[in-house]
Amino acid sequence: MAPNNPLDLMDDEEFDWEAAAREIDVVCQMGKGKQQTTLDKFVSIANAKKESPTPTPQLQFQEDDENPTFVHHIDAEAAKTWIYPVNVPLRDYQFAITQSALFSNTLVALPTGLGKTLIAAVVMYNYFRWFPQGKIVFAAPSRPLVTQQIEACHNIVGIPQEWTVDMTGHLSPPKRAQFWKTKRVFFVTPQVLEKDIHSGTCLVKYLVCLVIDEAHRAMGNYAYCEAVRELMAVPVQLRILALTATPGSKQQTVQAVIDNLYVSRLEYRSETDRDVISYVHNRKIELIQVAMGPEAVEINNMFMEVIRPIVARLTNIGVIQNRDYRTLSPCQLLEIRESFRQRLRQDLSHVNYEDVEGYFGVLITLYYIHKLLSSHGIRPAYEMLERKLKQGYFAKFMSKSEVILKARQLMQQSLSHGASSPKLSKMLEVLLEHFKTNDPQNSRVIIFSNYRESVRDIMNALEDIGELVRATEFIGQSSGKAMKGQSQKVQQAVLTKFRSGAYNVIVATSIGEEGLDIMEVDLVISFDANISPLRMIQRMGRTGRKHDGRVDIL
């Protein structure tokens, strides 16, 4: 089987492969029952059974009732070496991480643009060589990410296309079941993988390698976690490679990902590490303070006037401890509410549960509207208020509040008068300055906004900037309150036109943060600064990879 691209055969005499594999086995056996499978285990089992490679042009697998202990068929000769591509420039850190990932269940944390895709492709290709009947799975949380990895596996290492299949939600279960029998390399979404494992259509005993992209999502009951748990319950002999640019901002978060994916080795590189720094260009980061307009300040004060007595009431009954109402956030309130629910039966028996739950619901909504007002402007905040005044406890509690009704009226007046948004004005100023010194035909810009409805306001503002800016939105597939989602076909068309220069500005929601090969950009504008560190890192990773870049945070 000859690959399509030139490859270098790595037979490293100085590296003791068997000793490394045995060491991994010892470490894993000492763990909490989470033993990972290593290559020497495959080899020893295969030798014990005295099986020889019998490649077949088309694979049809069936369960063997007489021999329930399944043995992976290994090509012992191929397993003496591993292959690394020579058609791409050699980077020491990529080579070292690949070497590790071949023989350990590895979490690779590597900044955006530094080559996680290549590492995954090389690991997948070598397992494809070593196990002639083995099946390799690459899972990514969206169809565009799946499509991107398919291209990489074909272009970088030349995995034969006749053995690969894209199995996202558009394929029916019967058709997927047939592909599980006849194909060897699968590109799937985690939901499809979890469903097919659960239903039994995925031939789990034949899996030898599972690559998990955007692995930081492997929390709680997300499909990644469910799929891996079901695989380990079989159990299977499986190599797991997990990829992320941002494993998490807290130690317990990273540990949860490691535990959920049965990882035994962490390969982390930052942009300042010695073996990485030469591949990273300067990235200028500027935090631009933008004051709220006078109308927004007045409206915000009204919301704070409503919030203050509710926080005081919850503080007086011991539900909130020593909190400044001006610094609370929706996320903090969710944590406090969860703590209240756990404490209720123990030391808060004097509290009316339904009333407190209602107060929390109202407060979380008010703080969220306040956050929209400060980060995105009056229109998104007004639209959220209008929706909530028609729903549940908030409507019951707030629809008669004179202060809320007055704030609502002021918001309506501001919008009808076309009151300017200071943040939109600053964004336009930044863009115009950028394109004065950078050729609009060659330069590219991404504007990120966490809130889809504000994408519409940004696009409307960009329409008045003139011919310098050719902008389009880049959003997810689900439809929002004011905007219809984009299909995968539309998303791919947007990226193609962005690369070709038909567009030079993309206004993106979170779909543009994770993984997608949007291309190198010169300027990233973060329209909302109050997002998680993880997501901010993802945004910043869109620039400064191949040449110097800039990030402006409004």
pLDDT of residue 544: 61
CA distance 286 to 336: 33
pLDDT of residue 180: 97
Give CATH superfamily name and number for 283-289+421-553: P-loop containing nucleotide triphosphate hydrolases (3.40.50.300)
**AA letter at 147:** T
Mean pLDDT for the stretch of residues 19-24: 37
CA distance 105 to 468: 49
CA distance 416 to 410: 10
Nearest Cα neighbor of 242 from 264, 223, 226 is 264
60 pLDDT more than 90: no
Contact 449, 423 (CB under 8 A): no
Query: For 296-311, what is each residue's pLDDT tens digit?
Result: 999 999 999 999 999 9
* Distance set, CA 63 to CA 180, 205, 206, 233, 243 (Å): 13, 9, 11, 18, 32
CA distance 151 to 5: 13
What is the Cα 192 distance to its own chain's centre?
Answer: 17
Other Cβ atoms within 10 Å of 177 Cβ, number: 16
> Do β-strands 445-448 and 505-508 pair in parallel, antiparallel, or remain unpaired?
parallel
pLDDT of residue 146: 80
User: 89-279 adopts what CATH topology?
Assistant: Rossmann fold (3.40.50)
CA distance 81 to 36: 21
Q: Is the peptide bond before 235 cis (omega within 30 degrees of 0)?
A: yes
Enumerate residues 6+ apart whose C-beta is below 8 A from 222.
190
CATH topology identical between 89-279 and 283-289+421-553: yes
**Lowest-confidence range among 223-237, 332-346, 535-549?**
535-549
Global model pTM greater than 0.75: no
CA distance 403 to 407: 6
Q: Where along the chain do its domains lie?
A: 89-279, 283-289+421-553, 294-416
Tokens of 423: 């943040």
pLDDT of residue 101: 96
540 pLDDT more than 90: no
Contact 279, 249 (CB under 8 A): no
Using only the alpha carbons of the chain, give its radius of gyration.
Answer: 27
Mean pLDDT estimate for the chain: 81
**Lowest-confidence range among 72-76, 285-289, 456-460, 482-486?**
482-486
**Lowest-confidence range among 36-50, 86-100, 513-527, 535-549?**
36-50
CA distance 182 to 351: 62
pLDDT of residue 204: 94
- Residues of the chain with pLDDT > 70, as a percent, come to 79
Contacts 24+ apart (CB under 8 A), 97-103: 97/267, 97/269, 98/122, 98/123, 99/15, 100/265, 100/267, 101/239, 101/241, 101/267, 102/39, 102/126, 102/239, 103/17, 103/20, 103/21, 103/24, 103/38, 103/39
The full DSSP string for 160-178 is -GGGEEEESTTS-HHHHHH
**Lowest-confidence range among 45-49, 235-239, 388-392, 409-413?**
45-49
For the chain, report the end-to-end CA distance as a whole number of angstroms: 53
> Do β-strands 549-553 and 523-526 pair in parallel, antiparallel, or remain unpaired?
parallel
Total residue count of the chain as it appears in this document: 554
Tokens of 403: 């202060």
Any bridge partners for residue 188, and if so which?
Answer: 139, 167
Query: For 61-104, what is each residue's pLDDT tens digit?
Result: 334 444 444 667 889 899 999 999 988 899 999 999 999 999 99
Helix, strand, or coil (residue 473): strand
Nearest Cα neighbor of 481 from 379, 412, 406 is 379
Q: For 294-416, CATH number?
A: 1.20.1320.20
The full DSSP string for 46-59 is HHHHT------SS-
Any bridge partners for residue 209, and if so which?
Answer: 136, 239
pLDDT of residue 68: 47
Burial status of residue 97 (CB atoms within 10 A of its CB: 0-12, 13-18, 19 or more) = buried
pLDDT of residue 331: 83
Burial status of residue 482 (CB atoms within 10 A of its CB: 0-12, 13-18, 19 or more) = middle
Enumerate residues 6+ apart whose C-beta is below 8 A from 140.
146, 148, 149, 187, 189, 190, 213, 214, 515
DSSP H or E run through 447:
strand 445-448
